[in-house]
Amino acid sequence: MDWITLTTGDDPRPLVAPGATEAWTALSTSVWRAANPALLELARMRIAMLLRDPGAVERRPPGAPRVPQDKVASLADWPTSPLFSDTERVALAFTERFVIDVAGICDADRGALTAQLPADQVGGFVIGLYAFDYERRTELAITRLFGVKAAAPSGDGGGATDADVGEVFNDLMKTIARLHELDPVTTELVRLRGARQHNCRICQSTRSVQAIGGGADESMFDKIDWYETTDLSERHKVALRLTDAIITQPTEITPELVTQVRRYFEPAEVVEIVFDISRNSAQKVPVALAADQAHVTEGVEYYDLDDDGDVLFGQEAPVGV
């Protein structure tokens, strides 16, 4: 397969994964009714700053309220600036921890957020953080990997939708899970690397029956944490390097890494890896809310995916395991 954007400069996502692309747009437009839009817009801009994407700070998406310019200029100084309320400071503190170190969110952080937000908005606010975080990370990765310009703000100009954000979030997860250009072993290695980076308990405790059937085993999974010094294939190491870059700081995806990705993966596989990382990183929502408890107390739990993209937990251990 030719490298899709080598000559066209087009965003490959609508070409190779239209359903997932549309599902991301749906989530980006639904979050604005899930919590206080003024808080969400402050969080969105702060996330763009943390991800070193000043252009995204300025591109106000449909559905977002306008923030006064003096407040925008002081956003990096929110802990001390008198322009921010106590609620805004709590929300921004939670936002920063969510983006930088979600595993470090503690009960005090959660307690502060729930004390400031209405109970029916807490989950929506955290899903909003995920949407802003991984829309940016995905966009930054795609622009570097495919040499395309940053996209315009999500949505068709119609602003926020009435769709239930939880349902839209789940639909996105299932739609990405239905992508099958990438082999199941690479998919599982990428998933487990993210699970360990975010310290998601349930994600670390599960194993894909499809990956086991494709030749993976625990000895392979044990190499993920120090993959660069192991005998994992270079293809797998490149996938894990890309995973690390997107999860930590996608603006640091180097030309060398882009060359490696293009050498070992077809364009549709690259898009799937990037989307898989965004799907896997939805684990940040339950981790942030301390809702990521594993289903098992020892050993691992096997899972599979059905044709709709739903996760089927509690599968029988594959033959030979």
Distances (CA, A) of 314 to 207, 296, 302: 10, 10, 6
193: pLDDT strictly greater than 90: yes
* Band (275; pLDDT cuts 50, 70, 90): very high
| Residue 156 confidence (pLDDT) above 60 | no
Residue 152 buriedness (CB in 10 A; 0-12 / 13-18 / 19+): exposed
* CATH code linked to domain 182-315: 1.20.1290.10
Query: Using 50, 70 and 90 to split pLDDT, how confident is the model at 321?
Result: confident
SS (H, E, C) 207-219: EEHHHHHCCCCHH
Query: Measured between alpha carbons, how far apart are the two ends of the chain, in Å?
Result: 36
Higher pLDDT pick, 48 / 150: 48
> Using alpha carbons only, what angle is made at residue 318 by residues 317 and 321, rounded to the nearest 5 degrees?
80
CA–CA dist 224, 208 (Å, integer): 15
What is the DSSP code string of 110-149? Answer: HHHHHHHS-HHHHHHHHHHHHHHHHHHHHHHHHHHHHT-P
pLDDT tens, position by position, 213-253: 999 999 999 999 999 999 999 999 999 999 999 999 999 99
pLDDT at 318: 85
Dihedral angle, C-alpha 127, 202, 100, 22, nearest 10 °: -40
148 with 142: CB under 8 angstroms?
yes
- Domain 13-175: give its CATH code: 1.20.1290.10
- For residue 150, what pLDDT is reported? 59
Q: What is the pTM of this model?
A: 0.94
Burial of 36 (0-12, 13-18, 19+ CB in 10 A): buried
Mean pLDDT of the chain: 93
Query: Which of the 8 DSSP states describes residue 103?
Result: G
pLDDT of 7 strictly over 90: no
Element (H, E) at 8: none
Could you tell me if 76 and 84 are in contact, meaning their C-beta atoms sit under 8 angstroms apart? no
Nearest Cα residue to 281 out of 193, 220, 175, 167: 193
Evaluate if residue 262 carries a pLDDT over 60: yes
Q: Are 134 and 141 in contact (CB under 8 A)?
A: no
DSSP conformational letter for 61? P
Between CA 178 and CA 19 the distance in angstroms is 9
Write out pLDDT tens, residues 91-147: 999 999 999 999 999 999 999 999 999 999 999 999 999 999 999 999 999 999 999
145 neighbors 270 (Cβ within 8 angstroms) = yes
DSSP 8-state symbol, 181: S
Q: Are 186 and 227 in contact (CB under 8 A)?
A: no
Query: Is the predicted pLDDT of residue 270 greater than 90, yes or no?
Result: yes
Q: What percent of the chain is predicted at pLDDT more than 90?
A: 89
Amino acid at 269: E
pLDDT of residue 320: 73
User: With b meaning 16 or more CB within 10 Å and e meaning fewer, what string describes 263-280?
Assistant: ebbbbbbbbbbbbbbbbb
Q: What are phi and psi of 206, to 5 degrees?
A: -110, 155
Task: Please give the Cα distance from 63 to 242 (Å, whole number).
Answer: 32
Residue with tokens 């739903």, as numbered in its chain: 310
Show me where the domains of the chain are located. Answer: 13-175, 182-315
Mean pLDDT of 193-222: 97
